[in-house]
Amino acid sequence: MDYLGLDETIKRALEEDIAHGDITTENLIAPEQKARGVFLAKAPGIVAGIEVSKRVFTLLDPETEFDILKKDGEEIEPGDIIAVVRGRARTLLTGERTALNFLQRMSGIASQTRRLVDMIKYSKAQLVDTRKTTPGLRVLEKYAVRVGGARNHRFGLYDGVMIKDNHIQAVGSITQAIADLRQKVPHTVKIEVEVDNFEQLHEALQAGADIILLDNMDVYELAQAVEAVGGQVLLEASGGINAGNIAEVARTGVDFISMGALTHSVHSLDISLDFVAGD
């Protein structure tokens, strides 16, 4: 992956874990002792973050060798070797947890995302993420979502307009909010409005919203909204969506389905780093 801030993100994670030194490893392992380790899949899933794991070790010691056998986006099964790392034993032991933390979490996100994408692949709906990410890890977690086959929603408050309920409350109406924004944001920026009832839906439509987010509507309401809008704007379903109902939501005809659970409630994929004999 190509991310200018990657090294700083990894360095912060290493500093958090190592601080003044690895007192176990430094008092047990000779500085020049060599080791070889394998990243082993212990559960089925999708790899994401293997380049990040590699960078953990090369930041600790540029002489570390790291051979990737399963690239980001590839499927893995229990027993598959994802990568092999060789170098100073101290480096491997000190970087192990940080490397695994990145790889396990990112692979967990990619794996869950792929399962959900597969559930709606025969519909027109596209799965997208949200800003409900781990502080400091948004770029990596949203990258993992893309690896899993979904799309990214806005990255932050700076790259997309989203009028939410508190904005509406503060300004007074959806109509006023859209009118004000049309005068102030570049014409290239789309305006999305979050609505939770049909009165707001019709107001947003009349006021000229480009995208309307249907918040916490059930499938019957979603289908009615799709029919009422008739393709005039893009519709996004959000809130209360999970593996049990995502296919039904997709069948309503919405254009996008956004899920915070892609990143905020994911289970890390079970992957280990085991020392093995040999070169």
* DSSP string for 149-174: T-B---SSTTS-EEE-HHHHHHHS-H
Write down the domain spans for the chain.
Answer: 6-111+267-275, 117-264
- Distance, CA of 4 to CA of 74 (rounded, Å): 24
Active site residue 16: no
For residue 201, the SS3 value is helix
In this structure, is the dihedral angle defined by the CA atoms of residues 200, 205, 210 and 211, taken in order, positive or negative?
positive
| CA atoms within 13 Å, Cβ hemisphere of 184 | 7
Active site residue 61: no
For residue 205, the SS3 value is helix
| pLDDT number for residue 251 | 97
In whole angstroms, how large is the CA radius of gyration of the chain? 23
Q: From the candidates 36, 154, 164, 251, which is the catalytic residue?
A: 164
pLDDT 10s per residue in the chain (279 long)? 677 899 999 999 999 999 999 999 999 999 999 999 999 999 999 999 999 999 999 999 999 999 999 999 999 999 999 999 999 999 999 999 999 999 999 999 999 999 999 999 999 999 999 999 999 999 999 999 999 999 999 999 999 999 999 999 999 999 999 999 999 999 999 999 999 999 999 999 999 999 999 999 999 999 999 999 999 999 999 999 999 999 999 999 999 999 999 999 999 999 999 999 866
| pLDDT number for residue 4 | 83
Q: Distance between alpha carbon 220 and the CA centroid of its chain, in Å?
A: 29
Active site residue 164: yes
Given the structure tokens 């806005």, which residue do they identify?
Answer: 154
Q: From the candidates 36, 61, 74, 97, which is the catalytic residue?
A: 97
| pLDDT number for residue 279 | 62
- Distance, CA of 131 to CA of 112 (rounded, Å): 17
| pLDDT number for residue 278 | 66
Q: Report in angstroms the alpha-carbon separations of 278 from 37, 107, 172.
A: 10, 28, 70
Active site residue 142: no
Q: From the candidates 132, 138, 151, 182, which is the catalytic residue?
A: 132
In this chain, the answer to whether the domains covering 6-111+267-275 and 117-264 adopt an identical fold is no
In this structure, is the dihedral angle defined by the CA atoms of residues 24, 28, 34 and 38, taken in order, positive or negative?
negative
The continuous run of DSSP H or E covering 59 comes out as: helix 50-60
Active site residue 11: no
Q: From the candidates 194, 203, 236, 255, which is the catalytic residue?
A: 194
Q: Which CATH architecture has domain 6-111+267-275?
A: Alpha-Beta Complex (3.90)
- Distance, CA of 92 to CA of 275 (rounded, Å): 9
CATH class of 117-264: alpha beta
**Model pTM score:** 0.95
